[in-house]
Amino acid sequence: MSRFMLSLMLAGMLGMGALQGAQAQAQLPTAQVPSGAPVARGLIVKLKEPQAGDPTSAQRERPQRLQERLAAVAQDAGMFMRGQAAIGGGHHLMRFARPLEGRAVDDALRRLRLHPDVAWVEPDVLMKLAQVAPNTAPNDPDYAAGLQDHLKGPAIYPGGINLPPAWNRTTGGVNATVAVLDTGVRFSHPDLAGRVLPGYDFVSEVEYGNDGDGRDADASDPGDWVSTSDRTTQRALYGACLRSDSTWHGTFIAGQLSALTNNGVGVAGINWSNKVLPVRVSGKCGAFLSDILDGMRWAAGLTVAGAPANPNPARIINLSFGGDVACTASYQDIINEVTAAGALVVVAAGNDNLSPKRPADCKNVLTVGAVQRNGLKTDYSSFGLAVGIMAPGGTGVATATATTNIYSTGNDGATSPGNNVYSYKVGTSFSTPLAAGVASLMLALNPALTPAELTQRLRASVRPHVFLAGSPSCGPRVNVPCNCTTSTCGAGLLDADGAVLAALAPVALFAGVVGPVAGSTISLDGRASAASTGSALVSYLWTQVAGSTVIIQNPASAVASVALPAAAGNFQFKLVVTDNAGRQGEQVLSVTSFTAEAAAAAAATSAAAGGGTAASGGGGGGGSMGWLWGAGLWLVALAAWRRRRGLAALQP
């Protein structure tokens, strides 16, 4: 991915202050910063779209013009940047000359947020892994020995995911690739032989990648250890990182999902047939947000500059990273993109025993919290309204054995790779792939399920939360295992058998109706609806559920039609499809009609925004700075100068 150098500095006090702030910083971003101070290597920026009718709109979309606009924004804000890169989806990474932290990051964000050409901006920081520090039953010996009891039913493991009866219905299929955005994978592990696709390495920083290069086609995990020596002798790089052995985090999750099963060796994977797509985004200290965003887009089959096309787009993305702030615009934009591309994003709730943070609190994700063996929420799992469902994550107790935690494929190397082994871990990182794996079983039965359908059916098929008398209810300041409710821990406990049964119902899908004119006739087209594998649709039924009454022509056909009233209005139509086993699926289509005048005006606005002719000369380009923004920037600089001088700020 090319990076374009910026060498622009605003003269005077503001520029001097920005440069001094940058020079004062020495440490690069880290996933876990003991002091709690935010550290960033740059800013993720999205520029505003041109105004409708702007004669420069077409020119502004050209890559060279975008680079010029970003350079102008940096110059206006008095920021010296090392380079810039497109992330995708209209997002851009602007690299600092040196990493910044704390107040310096806040000042940089404040200056850019005041700029009239910036839609939003956020820091590019390292994200931490959501891991807590330390019949058709398969014949894998570790499963038989009870080391994977969390996969079994409530009679054995009250919090278990109830896989055995689900495996009686399906052991999976090859049509549901699961992408694991993580540390990479040890391809040499014998229990992963033939179950892992080549993948890609998106770790952009050589020092953190730990493999001697940047982004490339090698998604193997070289180890992500941080030694005491690293922290003391290379403080600029690793001083703010926590000391840790290599985690082999991605290898562990790959085994949970797709370890060779029923082969008489090791552990059992959830899906016996599909493959894992390793997308390496994390190295020493964690993963940069921009690398995660690019990795998500590539995993879903979207274009990423500098990376080859992904020949194996994932239907499910497993993301076991946590954050310390609420969902941000860049995360939400990319999640929306990959969801629209057909990929379900399954994320870890986090291990802070607090409300989930990004990406767990973003929309269009399935957030998974952790329960222990008896079904109570673990003492570490985050909780709250953002949580969708709960699944086993281990006890979190240091003396716990493998039978009370999660067991999977691993490696015994404390630093670089050692022997391929099996080990156990604890955390919502390992609850997440249980839900992702069950979703892959659902897709084996019904490939037509959309991300929204998968989420809805997983939540609808849960078992109720466990209630144990004498245990407290989960809530703030409850630091022990606790009883869940639907307001603290989502819909309930993940149940694989219930989920695959829910997947058997057909899917009602329809073509959207965009901008219909009042008085016209529209088609209600449900031909995209589908039955599960081995079944067939036998009936369609369209009914009206909202809006002024209209007559539906051919309501019992896949394609119906409606003559809209002459007055503009809002309407809703429900499609119910039934298969040959009597199972039903339904979906509601919303339609808004417009007057002919409003539709023509909307079309003209769209044409002006997307196809205007570029005009030469004139003001108002990306580098222009209105006087109000300039005055605001001057006040920010004055406030920063007063803080450095220890003076009280002026009150408004």
β-sheet bridge partners, residue 592: 570
* Catalytic hit among 290, 429, 431, 593: 429
Question: Is 333 considered catalytic here?
Answer: no
Is 431:322 a contact under the CB 8 Å cutoff? no
- Residue of 253, 347, 241 whose CA lies nearest to 292: 347
The SS3 of residue 346 is: strand
Give the Å distances, CA to CA, from 321 to 61, 144, 226, 368, 603. 33, 31, 18, 12, 42
* Catalytic hit among 182, 221, 333, 361: 182
| Cα–Cα distance, 29 to 240 (Å, whole number) | 8
Q: What is the DSSP letter of 389?
A: E
Is 58:344 a contact under the CB 8 Å cutoff? no
Question: Is 216 considered catalytic here?
Answer: no
- Residue of 462, 471, 446, 378 whose CA lies nearest to 585: 446
What is the bridge-based pairing of β-strands 276-280 and 287-288? unpaired
What is the bridge-based pairing of β-strands 344-348 and 316-319? parallel
Rg for the chain, CA atoms, rounded: 27
Token pair in block for residue 128: 């931490």
Token pair in block for residue 383: 């909780």
The SS3 of residue 104 is: helix
Is 356:488 a contact under the CB 8 Å cutoff? no
Amino acid present at 131:
Q
Strands (E) in 48-108, as ranges, are 81-88, 91-101
Token pair in block for residue 582: 């009597």
2: number of Cβ within 10 Å: 11
Is 247:223 a contact under the CB 8 Å cutoff? no
β-sheet bridge partners, residue 371: 377, 392
- Residue of 7, 99, 505 whose CA lies nearest to 285: 99
| Cα–Cα distance, 588 to 510 (Å, whole number) | 9
Residue that the structure tokens 């417009």 belong to:
594
| Cα–Cα distance, 257 to 175 (Å, whole number) | 14
Residue partners of 237: CB distance under 8 A and separation at least 6: 27, 28, 207, 208, 230
- Residue of 426, 403, 436, 418 whose CA lies nearest to 189: 418
Question: Is 273 considered catalytic here?
Answer: no
Helix 627-645 to helix 13-23 angle (10° resolution) is: 50
Where is 586: in which H helix or E strand? strand 584-592
| Burial readout 191-221 (b: 16 or more C-beta within 10 A, e: otherwise) | bbeebbbebbbbbbbeebbbbeeebeebbbb
CA terminus-to-terminus distance, the chain = 46
| Cα–Cα distance, 413 to 562 (Å, whole number) | 66
Is 70:42 a contact under the CB 8 Å cutoff? no
* Catalytic hit among 92, 115, 249, 465: 249
- Residue of 408, 402, 404 whose CA lies nearest to 392: 404
| Cα–Cα distance, 288 to 282 (Å, whole number) | 7
Catalytic machinery residues: 182, 249, 429
